[in-house]
Structure 1
Amino acid sequence: MNINWGAFLLGAAAGAAGAVIAQQNLSKTTYVSAEKALKEVKEAFKSEGPIDGSWIKMKPEPLKKAGMDKMVYKGGVSRTIGQEREQFEFVADSRTGTIMDVYKTY
């Protein structure tokens, strides 16, 4: 069995280089900060009145829904309207900070 070591080493080097380039491209995925996403949500809620509190998960998590495959931040906002306390949860796109969904919790 004759092994062409030159071709083998060339193939291995090309494979390793491709893996390094792919890893670099994947690590370039940029996210807005969780704080910026939360600020966007709070601004939207403040247009309807004051808020009492808010929270956000600092690490983006995957969301697969209706053909979408995105990384998102999840969080919540609470406010008091009259005597009633309202609580909402939200989903925000981790790349843009755009609010994707808001729903009232009971």
Structure 2
Amino acid sequence: MKLKDFLAGVLTGVAAGFIVNEAIDRVNPNVAADSVLNTIKVAFKSEGPIDGSWIVMKTEPYKNNVITMNVYRGGISRIKDGELEQFEFTADAKTGTIVELVKI
């Protein structure tokens, strides 16, 4: 096999991989739900230990006045000053940004 043929094959493989990766990103532009939950957990851990957390892996539509977006819903709990605190959150599925955090 000639070096020229080998390099042509490698470059073709790299180009095909790049194209497939871009196509997948366009089909599912959402941030992974696990990533969103981990980001929230890191923020809460800075104030103390976490007791539990959850997130719904499927997005759902969310409307806040005139803004409509797909979101993940989840929750987190912790013990602070001997008291159980529970929060529910709503996060934008495209960016992972928290759009609502409610203490329950």
TM-score by length of 1: 0.70
What secondary structure, in the 3-state scheme, does the structure 2 residue paired with 1:102 have?
strand
Ranges in structure 1 where 5+ consecutive residues have no aligned partner: 1-23
State, as a whole percentage, how many aligned pairs show the same letter: 51
Q: What is the CA–CA distance in structure 1 between the aligned matches of 2:35 and 2:28, rounded to whole Å?
A: 17
Note the aligned Cα RMSD (angstroms): 1.5
Q: What is the CA–CA distance in structure 1 between the aligned matches of 2:64 and 2:29, rounded to whole Å?
A: 21
Paired residue for 1:89? 88
Paired residue for 1:36? 35
Q: What is the CA–CA distance in structure 1 between the aligned matches of 2:98 and 2:41, rounded to whole Å?
A: 11
Q: What is the CA–CA distance in structure 2 between the aligned matches of 1:82 and 1:65, rounded to whole Å?
A: 33
Pair 1:66 & 2:68 matched: no
In the TM superposition, what are the counterparts of 1:1-106 in structure 2 within 5 Å? 28-105=27-104
Paired residue for 1:8? none
Q: What is the CA–CA distance in structure 2 between the aligned matches of 1:55 and 1:33, rounded to whole Å?
A: 14
Aligned residues: 80
1:83 is displaced (CA, Å) by 1.7
What secondary structure, in the 3-state scheme, does the structure 1 residue paired with 2:34 have?
helix
What secondary structure, in the 3-state scheme, does the structure 2 residue paired with 1:69 have?
strand
1:29 is displaced (CA, Å) by 4.5
Q: What is the CA–CA distance in structure 2 between the aligned matches of 1:62 and 1:99, rounded to whole Å?
A: 15
Ranges in structure 2 where 5+ consecutive residues have no aligned partner: 1-22
Larger Rg: 1
Q: What is the CA–CA distance in structure 2 between the aligned matches of 1:87 and 1:28, rounded to whole Å?
A: 34
Q: What is the CA–CA distance in structure 1 between the aligned matches of 2:99 and 2:63, rounded to whole Å?
A: 13
